[in-house]
Amino acid sequence: MKIRTHISVSLDGYITTPEGLPTILTAPDFESGISHGAPEFIATCGAVLMGRSTFLPAVGSSHWPWPNLKVFVLTSQPLPEGTPDHVVSSGDPAALLELMRNADFEGDVHLVGGQQTIQAFRELGAVDEFGLVVMPVLLGDGLRLTPEKSAAKPLQLISTRTFPDGSVEHTYTP
């Protein structure tokens, strides 16, 4: 089981617009689960992992974004009403990692985000692959991929490919 991101980021390093929307939504041809390499990536995953802020918009929405995938949420709070029973949560990143390791699924874990949750799993040394979809846009402001003053980390490029709208997927290992 590998823990892997596939997160959209602007050319100037933001994972959200100044209004807090995921950067992928700046792509005019974005289709959830269909465009920007999502099907190939998700086909290798059996679970998704995210923080409470990233998870909340899915609860009660008409479209459940992670059908057929185990869902793990990093939060110290009870999950909101309307959360499907199979969603697992913990406020302790190490405990959540252990729950994922012992869970019944095959394949990798898609570390969806956001910034805080990626940072929490980086600090555990548990992020095996950093996949980024770099969008052809300068946002100027928003939420950065990494918090300010987080530790420097050299990465090794293992693959890259481009999409028709000029976005580029890069995959790195630590």
Ligand X SMILES: NC(=O)c1ccc[n+]([C@@H]2O[C@H](COP(=O)([O-])OP(=O)(O)OC[C@H]3O[C@@H](n4cnc5c(N)ncnc54)[C@H](OP(=O)(O)O)[C@@H]3O)[C@@H](O)[C@H]2O)c1
Residues binding ligand X (CB under 6 A): 7-8, 15-16, 20, 22-24, 50-54, 74-77, 91, 93, 112-117, 120, 143
Task: Work out how close the CB of 142 gets to ligand X at its nearest, in angstroms, rounded to a whole number.
Answer: 8
Q: What is the CA radius of gyration of the chain?
A: 15
Q: Which is nearer to ligand X, 104 or 122 (CB)?
A: 122
Task: Work out how close the CB of 15 gets to ligand X at its nearest, in angstroms, rounded to a whole number.
Answer: 4
Task: Work out how close the CB of 145 gets to ligand X at its nearest, in angstroms, rounded to a whole number.
Answer: 8
Task: Work out how close the CB of 24 gets to ligand X at its nearest, in angstroms, rounded to a whole number.
Answer: 5
Residue, CB closest to ligand X = 114
Q: Which is nearer to ligand X, 39 or 91 (CB)?
A: 91
Residue 130: alpha-carbon gap to chain centroid: 10
CB atoms within 10 A of CB 39: 10
Q: Which is nearer to ligand X, 80 or 106 (CB)?
A: 80
Q: Which is nearer to ligand X, 37 or 106 (CB)?
A: 37
Q: Which is nearer to ligand X, 46 or 137 (CB)?
A: 137
Task: Work out how close the CB of 92 gets to ligand X at its nearest, in angstroms, rounded to a whole number.
Answer: 7
Angle at 118 between CA 31 and CA 25, to 5 degrees: 20
